[in-house]
Amino acid sequence: MSGKLSSRIVDAIRSVVGTRPVGLHEPTFVGNELSYLKECIETTYVASKGSFIERFESYLSEYTGSRFVVAVSSGTAALHVSLVLAGVEANDEVLIPDITFVATANAVTYCGAYPHIVDCEEENLGLDVPKLKRYLEDNTEQRSGVCVNKNTQRVIKAIVPMHVFGHPVELDSLLEVAHNHQIKLIEDAAEALGSFYQGKHVGCFGLMGALSFNGNKVLTTGGGGAILTDDKELGERARHLSRTARVEHPWNYDHDEVGFNYRLPNLNAALGCAQMEQLESFLADKRRLFGRYQGAFHGIPGLRMIEEPPASKSNYWLQTLILDGEYASERDHVLAAANEHGYQTRPIWRPMSDLAVYGHCPRMENLTSKTLAARALNIPSSPGIDKDVR
């Protein structure tokens, strides 16, 4: 039995990506990467000055429609600065999904605040909005314009939805719930460059949004991130805070608050510019790969692939298989078989509620996310891996 499902899955992957070993998500450098990097070296502008930083920011602003974009050194840094600017302070609580990369929870912790763990839904693994709505109605109350957790007496200042593997969460209803409870919304759009909800780029719905350009993301700057906002003042504050809060002056060093050294070096921005120029082709490749996998898995009982939600356009960052409940115990066999054949395949992250470091955090009960995470796995997703097959 166990042999059967895993070998059918391996056969399906092979029919799409061929027989050679493939990684989970590898960067693709087939554009102007080398020439832009060379320009940085030749001009000596490798660090905090240089034209690629502004250019990368304006590429991102144009593509996402976000009025203000601040390039920073990582997606985690983008989240941290956004939370600080949303007013998250020590002993506040910030709602985060159980299914996310640890950076979401860490950024909350850097503010001295407590992550408060919310359940995720079956379909796309995003925040379960109807469940959140009931939960907030039962467990919180408004006190002088802020949302207070009745169980801990702490203020719930913000919520950070995450668009899992690039699939947009239900932003419409989530914004309404957040608004009704006076909770600020910051989007963790780290995985979702190229994803749109009702025609608008994700990361542009809340007060601020965070993107990541880590090595395995849709596009990479080596390491890097960006803060998105439509609010001019927040945009300026984000820039200031992420550049050590230095007061602009040709030679003087003056810093008017405690800032962070979170700027993105010109070298990394140069890589980002070259990658942005190829974004549309990466996205087209990923969408085609999804279609091929879907065809290959069709008719295999006991599993499904995550698809973009209605009214959304997903970037299909990581292709994801969900095993049906009765096949949950097969997951490790599938992982072993696929990896043995050279197809890098991984379980999704351990849910935040299962991490020892976040064991003390407030959370919903009966988290569906736990069983869900135990049935999900990511299969090879790099753009173009299906190209010369067949």
Note the residues at the interface with ligand PLP (CB under 6 A).
74-76, 100-101, 103-104, 162, 188, 190-191, 212, 214, 225
Decide whether 140 or 268 has the Cβ nearer to ligand PLP.
268
Strands in 208-212's sheet, in edge-to-edge order, are 68-72, 225-229, 208-212, 184-188, 156-159, 93-97, 114-118
* Exposure on the CB side of residue 81, measured as CA atoms within 13 A: 37
Bridge partners for 173 per DSSP: none
Q: Which is nearer to ligand PLP, 75 or 265 (CB)?
A: 75
Reduced to 3 states, what is the DSSP secondary structure of residue 376? Answer: strand
Q: Nearer Cβ to ligand PLP, position 100 or 195?
A: 100
42: amino acid identity, one letter:
E
- Rounded Cα distance between 90 and 95, Å, is 14
Residue (of 261, 264, 186, 187) closest to 220 by Cα position: 264
Tokens at 122, concatenated: 């079956």
Quote the least distance from Cβ 162 to ligand PLP, whole Å.
5
Smallest separation, CB 36 to ligand PLP (Å): 20
Q: What are the start-end ranges of the E strands in 243-361?
A: 303-305, 312-313, 319-323, 346-347
Q: Which helix (H) or strand (E) holds 149?
A: strand 146-149
Which amino acid is residue 290, in one-letter code?
Answer: F
Q: Measured from the CB atom, is 112 or 215 closer to ligand PLP?
A: 215
Identity of the amino acid at 99: I
Q: How far is the CB of 190 from ligand PLP (least distance, A)?
A: 3
Of all residues in this chain, which one has the CB nearest to ligand PLP in the complex? 75
> What is 68-134 written as a DSSP string?
EEEEES-HHHHHHHHHHHTT--TT-EEEEESSS-THHHHHHHHTT-EEEEE-B-TTTSSB-HHHHHH
CA dist., res. 63 & res. 26, Å (int): 23
**Minimum separation from the CB atom of position 232 to ligand PLP (A):** 25
**360: its two tokens:** 């003390």
Instruction: State the minimum distance, in angstroms, from the CB of residue 163 to ligand PLP.
Output: 8
- The nearest distance, CB 380 to ligand PLP, in angstroms, is 17
In the complex, minimum distance from the CB of residue 280 to ligand PLP, in angstroms, rounded to a whole number: 21
286 vs 333 by CB, closer to ligand PLP: 286
**Measured between alpha carbons, how far is 125 from 165 in angstroms, rounded to an integer?**
9
Choose between 146 and 355: whose C-beta lies nearer to ligand PLP: 355
Name the residue nearer to ligand PLP (CB basis): 163 or 239.
163
Of 191 and 386, which has the nearer Cβ to ligand PLP? 191
The minimum distance between CB 76 and ligand PLP, in angstroms, equals 3
CB of 327 to ligand PLP, least distance (A): 26
Question: To the nearest whole angstrom, how small is the minimum distance from the Cβ of residue 374 to ligand PLP?
Answer: 19
Q: Which is nearer to ligand PLP, 328 or 355 (CB)?
A: 355
Closer CB to ligand PLP, residue 92 or residue 191?
Answer: 191
∠ at Cα 161 (223, 194), nearest 5°? 55
Task: Report CA 339 to chain centroid distance, whole Å.
Answer: 25
